[in-house]
Amino acid sequence: MVACRVNSLPPPRNLLLASLSPEDWSAVAPRLERVTLRPRQILEEPRTEIRAVYFIERGFAAVQVRTQADGTHGVGLVGRFGMTGLSLLLGTRRAPFRISVQVAGEAFRLDAAEAAALFAENTALRRLGLAYIQAVMVQGAQLSLCNARHSMKHRVRRWLLLAQDWLGEPEIAVSHQLIAGLLGVRRASVSEQIERLEQAGIVRQQRASITVLCREALEQDSCECHALISAEYRRLFTRR
């Protein structure tokens, strides 16, 4: 993992950090390291100590749970809207879930001890982090409903919309197998839905990559779960 200490930077791409005032950003920035994120890199492991907080700038990571019988299942995404290390805001350093990078990119890394101290001393960052926890709770609850009640068509569309939101780009560098693993379904089920979207001119497929060509069409025939999750994040970033 390549890292460099942050000294003077333009405004961050991560929307949590970008929501800080210039004064608060100036206080936070010198403590950050810019790092590269590799596919399948583990940022947190369940029941182990959190070593660092990552504010993702590009790419995204999946929040995952696992049982021996069922394997690994994705329960959320972390991208440019958010951060890892939420347990530090709640007074514990033990991670509850696995968080692993799915799409390579960059992040600002903050040592866990420094993060805990910064959350304690910087009221603006602490309030923003707690508001983000609420958005994550809404996301988790809505995804539980979507996965339990909605069709594969709607679940795949919702996943693509959220992934594009988290990346901030039309191209999503993922395979059908990766999407299937995060949704906890068969690869063939995902491939069928993606192929239908491509035939309709809504997406374009390349090797291990899906590009959204018409987001409006993707939204029109999706369930409301994406809109409800997005609304909560919009409230987070307009609450200044």
Secondary structure (DSSP) of 35-87: EEE-TT-EEE-TTSB--EEEEEEEEEEEEEEEETTTEEEEEEEESTT-BS-HH
Full-prediction pTM beyond 0.75?
yes
In CATH, what is the architecture of 3-145?
A: Sandwich (2.60)
Distance CA 123, CA 88 (A): 15
Mean residue pLDDT across the chain: 91
Residue 53 clears pLDDT 60, i.e. is over it: yes
Same fold, 3-145 and 151-222: no
**Quick one: which H or E segment has residue 149?**
helix 123-149
Question: What is the dotted CATH code of the domain comprising 151-222?
Answer: 1.10.10.10
Residue 237 clears pLDDT 90, i.e. is over it: no
Distance CA 165, CA 206 (A): 20
**Cα distances (Å, whole numbers) of residue 81 to 55, 62, 133, 141:** 9, 13, 12, 18
Where exactly are the structural domains of the chain? 3-145, 151-222
- Stretch 60-66: mean pLDDT: 90
